Structure 1
Amino acid sequence: MFNNRKLGSILLLGALSSVSFLSACGSGTNSGAGTGADAASKTAPASVSDKPVTISFLHWRGEDVKSFNGIIEKFQQENPNIKVEMQTMPSEQYQSTAQAKLADGSVGDVFTSFPGAQFEALNKAGLFSDLSKEKWLSNFNEPLIQVGKKDGKQLAVPYQLVYNDPIYNVKLFEKYGLTPPKDWEGFLALCEKLKSNGVIPIAFAGADIGPGQFMNTMVMNNEPSEDIFTKVEAGQAKLTDEFWVKTLSQFKELNDKGYLQPNALGTKDAAAGALFIQEKAAILASGSYQLAQNKQQNPNLTQKLLAPITVSADKAKYEGIHTSTFLLAVNSKSKHPEEAKKFLDFLSKKEIAAQYANETGQNVTVKDVQYTSAELQVANEWANKKTLFQPRFTITNAENQKAVTNSIQAVLSGKSPQDAAKEAQAIVDQQVKK
């Protein structure tokens, strides 16, 4: 568990009046143009070329393109010999195809990675440059960037701090006299009250990001230990153990009782979001990274975060989930590594990080950032809560991660929790033998 007293003081020291943030989708291709920001990199290596250079910036946050375009303009004005071309793709596609795109260094001089399985895969492929000696690392809150370390080396730097807890519509809760429940029975009662009043309790993107997002809060208090998935991958525990069968049973219960929208398995992220934005659903099973875009599409929304507590109140260990994500990295195959590092140095400046945070509604890991966005105020409530690092990202094998999320989809399609867990465990067993 992350030390949340420490997190609270980190965020407060960072002049945090807020939070909200990751992971999500977007697509498109863009290239930045130029204007200037702050002083040039204090650590800019002498090997930065005096000749015009173009570097590629590859990531999955299509919804952040407008903000990044403005930042790139400033960077290019300050560094007129460096042009940054930006390319994005949807998050699901990014996870499956980014490694192949990065392999020859023609794309992604600067790129991003998810923590967990993708980070491990990219590391094994030797695609990260070691950033350990870069002086600008001191611009970041050190405890929040540990997820980008491997074998003592800082290979990537998380830029965002996300709370992967469902979002709820405050006004709908107030209308029906509801407050975030403290146990599973209370959560079921809340869902029933919403359903009986013609409101979809939970909008769930079962066709793409939903299983991987919602599993975190659903399993956090069922886990016997923080490292349970590490033990599963090592063959020291199994997905057929009580913790995961219980979690799958609770997914099934939500679905069987009609607390997810009809055809939840066929619903993609944007469609689930639309149900929440249009106030047809009271809860969106995603995370803080969607707060800003929800508000943008419906200015009348008042939003907060809640996590389903799947145990009795006295057995609850955690109140929610946090993730340091959007890991910035320099491609080891890059022909322009110093220019790429210079761009990361620029992104680490507190005024640039503040611009990004307030324009996108994403909290950042950079120190001393001033937040002004109303959506970022959610952080005040979560900085000092007991939160667990996202369990899904402790699964370092992509096939195992897929087996876990597929077991959720299997249960929602009618398979018993026991059978779904057995099928998932069979895949893990194959990976253990390799």
Structure 2
Amino acid sequence: MTRTSFSLWTSMLVLLLVLTGCAGESGGSSGEDSGDKTTISFMHWRNEDKAVFDEIIAEFEDANPDIAVEMNIYPSDQYQATAQRMLQEGSTGDVFTSFPGAQFESLQKAGIFADLTDEEFVSKFDENLISVGQKDGKQLALPYQLVFNIPVYNKGMFEKLGLEVPKSWTEFQEMADTLLENGITPIAFPGADIGPNQFMNSMMMNNALDEDVFAKLQSGEESLTNEWWVKTLEDFQLLEQKGYIQKNALGTNSDSAMAMVANEEAAMIASGSYHMASILGLNPDLQLDLLAPITVEESEAVYEGINTATFMLAVNSKSEKQEQAKKFIDFLSEPEIASKYANGTGQHLTVTDVNYESEALKNTAYWIDEKKTRFQPRFLITNAQIEDAVLSSIENVLGGEEPMAAAEAAQKIVDENRE
């Protein structure tokens, strides 16, 4: 082969590899603009909402023929780990979503959020529910969903067995014992993917009434070896030792845990209201409601549940298509569109004047106004390493470690990572 022929062959091979690589990409790119149409990327983690968002995006594109929306969806754990890097590149996520807490804090420090404070669509949201998206007096993100991060339970099963919602830790254990006696697992625990991320909040809400407890933990004023956290770990240990959660709980994913509830093998799932629609999809004959464990005696209980304003809509400050991105958020905040999303996904929203049509949403709407709830404590941990240490201490106890030993090991990590 001559040098000229070799060079030509090499160039063709390189071109072939480049074309093949491009053909294999999916998501992660906002695409290219074509003609007078601008393509924006909408990046989030809720694959279960894809069908509803496809319909909403089609409506938006009909109303805005000069804008196309490409949706990029990633698993939630991957999203938390890699979203910041992708957003900083500016090639994806013209509109993106953020978790409150550590991810929001990290993204705002990196300057990823465009300021939405003066945008008219902010007034379409309940001002009491969007403060979690604010920093230094600016509205950087708009929480779209109002989630109750407490167990979903089979209300019909409770009625059949003559069970009432427990108002104390003693009553909770009596309820769980009755379920076990009837061959029913009290709590399906999705430890493989969700883990204790949700359940920890209601398990500790009355053990640590100070809503600044995690801020104090990060500053050194509090410790995981103090009573509030050790008791929480002891309560988790009790659940495992008494069989109130299923065997191999740490190896059970959320789909399997939801199936346990849908098949009436389990009475509750340790996740949140966002799973109600999926469970009803598996068994539409169920009557579902929400139930948070009260880990103290009734006279000591202050909170009845946990709320989180999450799935926070934002515009990427690195984007060159911010005006088009803002139009899309404005569209999502229209009451008619928000109602379509709420009823299609089974989510309560922070947008005002939403019309809830699904029975599951109607039946749990009383949690918004009638129940004493507090904002999810886990999202008040703004240091990711400290958050991991807190969650790992629960997993270690469920794996057989003694509560104080798990607390001491976690506190050591906290001490090493305090800011």
**TM-score normalised by L of structure 1:** 0.88
Q: CA deviation at 1:50?
A: 9.2
- Mapped pair 1:107 → 2:92: yes
Q: Work out the CA distance in 2 between the residues paired with 1:100 and 1:31.
A: 13
Change (3 A) 1:306 1:31: farther
Question: For residues 79-228 of structure 1, what are the structure 2 equivalents within 5 Å?
Answer: 79-228=64-213
- Mapped pair 1:294 → 2:274: no
- Whether contact under 8 Å (2:195, 2:250) holds in the other structure is no
Q: Work out the CA distance in 1 between the residues paired with 2:165 and 2:311.
A: 29
- Mapped pair 1:374 → 2:359: yes
- Whether contact under 8 Å (1:31, 1:69) holds in the other structure is no
Q: CA deviation at 1:106?
A: 0.5
SS of alignment partner, residue 138 of structure 1: helix
Structure 2: gaps spanning 5 or more residues:
1-25
Bigger drift between 376-385 and 388-397 goes to: 376-385
Deviations 1:200-240 (A, max 9, x none): 11000112213010000000000041110110011110111
- Whether contact under 8 Å (2:29, 2:92) holds in the other structure is no
- Mapped pair 1:361 → 2:346: yes
Q: 1:397 aligns to what? A: 383
- Whether contact under 8 Å (1:213, 1:285) holds in the other structure is yes
Match of 1:52 among 16, 32, 37: 37
- Mapped pair 1:426 → 2:412: yes
- Mapped pair 1:329 → 2:320: no
- Whether contact under 8 Å (2:315, 2:325) holds in the other structure is yes
Q: 2:402 aligns to what? A: 416
Q: Work out the CA distance in 1 between the residues paired with 2:29 and 2:69.
A: 7
Q: Work out the CA distance in 2 between the residues paired with 1:378 and 1:93.
A: 33
SS of alignment partner, residue 403 of structure 1: helix
Q: 2:374 aligns to what? A: 388
Q: Work out the CA distance in 2 between the residues paired with 1:224 and 1:148.
A: 23
- The one-letter code of the counterpart of 1:414 is G
Q: 1:310 aligns to what? A: 295
Q: Work out the CA distance in 1 between the residues paired with 2:365 and 2:68.
A: 38
Change (3 A) 1:329 1:351: same
Q: Work out the CA distance in 1 between the residues paired with 2:189 and 2:256.
A: 9
- Mapped pair 1:257 → 2:242: yes
Question: Aligned residues, how many?
Answer: 390
Q: 2:264 aligns to what? A: 279
- Whether contact under 8 Å (1:163, 1:287) holds in the other structure is yes
- Whether contact under 8 Å (1:206, 1:266) holds in the other structure is yes
Q: Work out the CA distance in 2 between the residues paired with 1:51 and 1:303.
A: 49
Q: 1:342 aligns to what? A: 327
- The one-letter code of the counterpart of 2:316 is N
- The one-letter code of the counterpart of 2:171 is G
Deviations 1:1-39 (A, max 9, x none): xxxxxxxxxxxxxxxxxxxxxxxxxxx96999xxxxxxx
Q: CA deviation at 1:380?
A: 3.4
- The one-letter code of the counterpart of 2:373 is T
Change (3 A) 1:320 1:97: same
Change (3 A) 1:372 1:30: farther
Deviations 1:243-278 (A, max 9, x none): 000000000000001111010011111111111111
Change (3 A) 1:139 1:50: farther
Q: Work out the CA distance in 1 between the residues paired with 2:209 and 2:124.
A: 36
Q: Work out the CA distance in 1 between the residues paired with 2:88 and 2:409.
A: 33
Q: Work out the CA distance in 1 between the residues paired with 2:63 and 2:241.
A: 58
Change (3 A) 1:369 1:50: farther
- Mapped pair 1:267 → 2:252: yes
Q: CA deviation at 1:117?
A: 0.6
Q: Work out the CA distance in 2 between the residues paired with 1:203 and 1:397.
A: 29
- Whether contact under 8 Å (2:117, 2:140) holds in the other structure is yes
Q: Work out the CA distance in 1 between the residues paired with 2:343 and 2:28.
A: 21
- Whether contact under 8 Å (2:190, 2:249) holds in the other structure is yes
- Whether contact under 8 Å (1:232, 1:239) holds in the other structure is yes
SS of alignment partner, residue 192 of structure 2: coil
CA RMSD of aligned residues (A): 1.7
Q: CA deviation at 1:96?
A: 1.3
Question: For residues 238-253 of structure 1, what are the structure 2 equivalents within 5 Å?
Answer: 238-253=223-238
| Identical positions, percent | 56
Deviations 1:170-203 (A, max 9, x none): 1221222111100001101111111111111100
Q: Which runs of 4+ in 1 moved over 6 A?
A: none
- The one-letter code of the counterpart of 1:402 is D
Match of 1:407 among 393, 401, 404: 393
Change (3 A) 1:279 1:82: same
- Whether contact under 8 Å (1:30, 1:85) holds in the other structure is no
Q: 2:18 aligns to what? A: none
- Whether contact under 8 Å (2:289, 2:364) holds in the other structure is no
Deviations 1:113-141 (A, max 9, x none): 01001100111111110101101111111
Q: CA deviation at 1:400?
A: 0.8
**TM-score normalised by L of structure 2:** 0.91
